[in-house]
Structure 1
Amino acid sequence: MSSLGTLSDIELAIRLKSDDEPAFSEIYSRYWDKLYIMARKRLNDKREAEEVVQDIFSNLWRRRDRLELQKGFSHYFAAAVKFEVINRLARRARTGVVASADATGYSDIPDMATLHTLDFNELYARFQEAVNELPEKCRIVFHLKLEHGLSQKEISRQMDISEKTVEAHLAKARKKLRDDLGNISSFFL
């Protein structure tokens, strides 16, 4: 029998679906630090980053029987961290807007008056709509960066364009999203 440390992510996922606790432990030890760094960087809060990582691993264990891993745990966890962070930032924003409205006595908040009543799905739908309005190449570059986590160099090679062009597309996408969505765009970027 081979050591768990030599198994690929796909092999570990197969074992995890069979309730293999040592496989889960291997995944946990392999990825915990990476996930923590990603979450901490985006949340700027040690305790909350630890909670995000623990929630992700708890969900992985709970949903192990339905796990369909396509590209490896790196992609799976990158998406999980992104969405967990977005949820927490949206919750922070709702709480902050409500507190701000209570403190000032105003019931209408300019620029996103109903932000505190919007749930994550509504925010994400607005974000996706704005992304879909980007020019085609700009949208493709943005998806490769945000959804697939590719570096500018990898995107450049894959699309056969210069790194400067990739950088320009990303800057254009961020500017348009900030213009269209205001502060909400920072939750997704």
Structure 2
Amino acid sequence: MVDYKIYGDQELVQLMRSGDERVLIEIYDRYWEKMLAVAFNRLGNQEEAEECVQDVLYKLWKLRENFSLVKDELANYLARAIRNQSFNILDRRYRERLKAEGFPPAEEINLHTPEHELIMRELEQQIDSVIRSLPAQCKLVFTLSRHEGFSTKEIAEKLQLSENTVKSHLKKANKDIRNNTKLLTTLVFIPIFFQ
């Protein structure tokens, strides 16, 4: 019997493209905990986090014939997929809450005006710029936490820092992002309330 643990990400993807279901089991075993940590970090709910991971793995399998990794590692791809699926779940949760509270559905509010799209792009660029301007250690901690899904404890162990130092770096990064995006964030949400 083949031991899939010896294969790298690119090899797993090639085997998956050929329809080998055992590859999905290896991806599950290899990345489940990290994916779950990223999902739980964003959603704060174990059941939704597990559902999120299952959805991502299901979609990966459905796309297997056309799926490829260029430079990325599979872990990075999966972290991004979890982040996007988490946004979908949060959006669904938000819509359900608004509906329960009697607010109009979001479809009735036009958020896709050219002005709104431009502001959103500028906001994204501004956030990226703030992240790039963070001190090296702070940027690394922030990236490991938000993009890779590592817990505070895992980051502390990986970088040989105390957990309090990791928390301080995350606090600084969040504060810098918040302080440098206040105006654009306000511009994004003000039109929603005046339509």
TM-score category of the 2 structures, normalised to the smaller one: 0.5 to 0.7
Can you give the 5+ residue segments of structure 2 that lack an aligned partner in the other structure?
Answer: 160-164, 189-195
1:35 shift after superposition: 1.7
1:37 shift after superposition: 3.1
Moved more, 63-72 or 53-62: 63-72
| Structure 2 equivalent of residue 81 of structure 1 | 82
| Structure 2 equivalent of residue 92 of structure 1 | 93
- RMSD (Å) for aligned C-alpha atoms: 4.1
Establish whether residue 134 from structure 1 lines up as the match of residue 135 from structure 2. Answer: no
Cα distance in 1 between the residues matched to 2:25 and 2:2: 16
Cα distance in 1 between the residues matched to 2:121 and 2:100: 25
- Contact kept, 8 Å, 1:9 with 1:72, in 2: the verdict is yes
Cα distance in 2 between the residues matched to 1:23 and 1:3: 10
1:20 shift after superposition: 1.5
- Contact kept, 8 Å, 2:53 with 2:82, in 1: the verdict is yes
1:173 shift after superposition: 4.4
Instruction: Count matched residues.
Output: 165
Can you give the 5+ residue segments of structure 1 that lack an aligned partner in the other structure?
Answer: 108-112, 156-163, 185-189
Moved more, 50-59 or 86-95: 86-95
The verdict on how the C-alpha distance between 1:52 and 1:138 changes in structure 2, with shifts beyond 3 A counting, is: same
What secondary structure sits across from 2:75 in the alignment?
A: helix
Identity %: 29
| Partner amino acid, structure 2, of 1:134 | V
| 1:83-123 alpha-carbon deviations (Å, 9 max, x no partner) | 111222233234334544x27xxx8xxxxx99x7648x969
1:40 shift after superposition: 2.4
The 5 A counterparts of 1:55-66 are: 55-66=55-66
- Contact kept, 8 Å, 1:17 with 1:65, in 2: the verdict is yes
What secondary structure sits across from 1:134 in the alignment?
A: helix
1:12 shift after superposition: 0.7
| 1:56-89 alpha-carbon deviations (Å, 9 max, x no partner) | 0111011112222233221111111111112222
Q: Tell which has more relative contact order, 1 or 2 (C-alpha 8 A, sep 6+).
A: 2
The verdict on how the C-alpha distance between 1:124 and 1:96 changes in structure 2, with shifts beyond 3 A counting, is: farther
